[in-house]
Structure 1
Amino acid sequence: MRVDLISLTISGLVLLILIANILYSPGFNRLDRQLHMKLVRTQKNIFWKIIAFINEPKLVIVWDVLIAGLLLNDGNYRLGLWVLATLGATDAAGFVIKHLVKRSRPHAHLSEEEGYSFPSGHVLGATTMCLILYALLRRQFAEYFALILLVYWLFVVISRLNLRAHYPSDVLGAVALSVFCFTVVQTIYAALFLN
């Protein structure tokens, strides 16, 4: 329970600080744009577009429903509903924050990228799915599985920056929101079903 409180506190504070700075600090936004320009020096290529496509937020919902369906089919009703609730709550929070902050995308983003920039929907979904998969499968696959998930997650983060779809703070905000929502839903699940 202490780890949950620490995760909630840190991720919540990071998220609030980012939102406040994006909305009210021209200096922060200028620094974020400069960091974005320094990080994005490579050429856009098909590999990063494929990574982005695989992690399209609507497609991540399909992956989530498939995982929940497998769990429900196995009779793991509570876990199946937890998987659905975790991504559902996270996506809902991301949608609300995107429309409250209304941050424009970087100027050089791809034309097919639409919507607001903060937080990154791709990173939000990928982070949440990695947390879900790790929680479900960590006992069976140990540290190798965590490494695979970490590499996958890093590819998604790099793709969003490389394709110029997001500023670094958009990515960090997505991670913070994902950890916050994951921890809230997991805490509720544990209180309802594991005590």
Structure 2
Amino acid sequence: MAHEKAGSAVTEKGAGRWRTFHEKFVVDERYVDPADRRGLYRASVILAVVGLALFIATLVSVVQADGLSAADHPVHDWLLTTRSAAVTAIMIFLAVFFGPIALPIIVLVVILVWGIAAKHAWRPILLASAMLTGVIVSQIILHIVQRSRPPVDQMLFGADQTFSFPSGHVLGACDFLLVGAYLIFSRRRNPRAAVFGFIGAGIGIILAIASRLYLGYHWPTDTLASFSLSLLILGGVIALDTWRTARIPGEPVTGELSKEESARE
């Protein structure tokens, strides 16, 4: 009898663990107003179109060496005149923070902690997918365009002779900050919090761009291309997240949060 109870307890424990694991990968749908859902789709399209158009314009100017890229050398030369020991130290810190070692570790920790702490892992998985998409896209474009960086002797944090267009540092920072801000604040009902969240993301992006330009590793159009690609990725994330999770009253739902809200209405 005791063995039967022990076996039953083990079975129930195993079933409970499997249920918890299964629920991690169940997308929790949510009720939104019809106007809000239309607004999300509209925002996703606008971001994608603006991002794509800006990237194409930047790419064409770089390939043809005119248009937007005409400002690359003047801006680069001006930044050389603004350098100082104190500012350089700050910019090196930012370069390390948004660099290929620190930022991936930060992103990995955020995704793992968020995925473990959250009941559903949809948003951490979406963030990871956006980051991975940015890496793949940037590597493909880098090797297609094969643009040279500014002179090596003007770089302040070691030589880098890899291709320059687009900036992987800036694209990674933009994806992490913009997509992360959307995934966090899209579930909150306070618009002011979302505004401050995206303002914070914008400040972080400006700092990441400034460090790459100041330290002499990129031309301005490299960073502009990265920002435009990130807008395109953000638009895709918003569209996918809205399509998969946003439900309006009258539509069937499976998420626990949506069921609770439905019961209260």
Alignment TM-score, normalising by the size of structure 2: 0.67
**Aligned residues between the structures:** 195
For 1:1-195, list aligned pairs within 5 A. 1-25=41-65, 29-43=69-83, 45-73=88-116, 74-107=118-151, 108-110=154-156, 111-138=158-185, 139=188, 142=193, 143-195=195-247
Preserved CA contact (<8 Å) 2:69 2:221? no
More helix by share: 1
Distance 1:57 1:186 in 2: 26
Q: Which amino acid aligns with 1:105?
A: R
Distance 1:109 1:29 in 2: 20
Greater C-alpha radius of gyration:
2
Structure 2 segments unaligned to the other structure (5+ residues): 1-40, 248-265
Does 1 or 2 have the higher relative contact order (CA < 8 Å, sep 6+)? 2
Distance 1:70 1:178 in 2: 24
Distance 1:190 1:72 in 2: 19
Alignment correspondent of 2:22: none
- Following TM superposition, where does structure 1 have runs of at least 4 consecutive aligned residues deviating by more than 4 angstroms? 26-30
Distance 2:169 2:229 in 1: 12
Q: Which amino acid aligns with 1:109?
A: M
Preserved CA contact (<8 Å) 1:61 1:87? no
Once the two structures are overlaid, the 10-residue window that deviates more, 38-47 or 119-128, is: 38-47
Distance 1:161 1:50 in 2: 14
Note the C-alpha offset of 1:29. Answer: 4.2
Q: Which amino acid aligns with 2:218?
A: H
Distance 2:181 2:69 in 1: 34
Q: SS at the partner of 2:107?
A: helix
Preserved CA contact (<8 Å) 1:18 1:173? yes
Distance 1:57 1:133 in 2: 18
Alignment TM-score, normalising by the size of structure 1: 0.88
Q: Deviations over 1:156-193 (max 9, x none)?
A: 11111110111111111110011111211332233234
**RMSD of aligned residue pairs (Cα, Å):** 2.2
Once the two structures are overlaid, the 10-residue window that deviates more, 122-131 or 65-74, is: 65-74
Preserved CA contact (<8 Å) 1:105 1:117? yes
Structure 1 segments unaligned to the other structure (5+ residues): none
Once the two structures are overlaid, the 10-residue window that deviates more, 142-151 or 94-103, is: 142-151
Note the C-alpha offset of 1:60. Answer: 2.1
Alpha-carbon spacing, 1:33–1:55, altered in 2? closer, same or farther (3 Å): same
Preserved CA contact (<8 Å) 1:55 1:126? yes
Preserved CA contact (<8 Å) 1:128 1:178? yes
Alpha-carbon spacing, 1:75–1:27, altered in 2? closer, same or farther (3 Å): closer
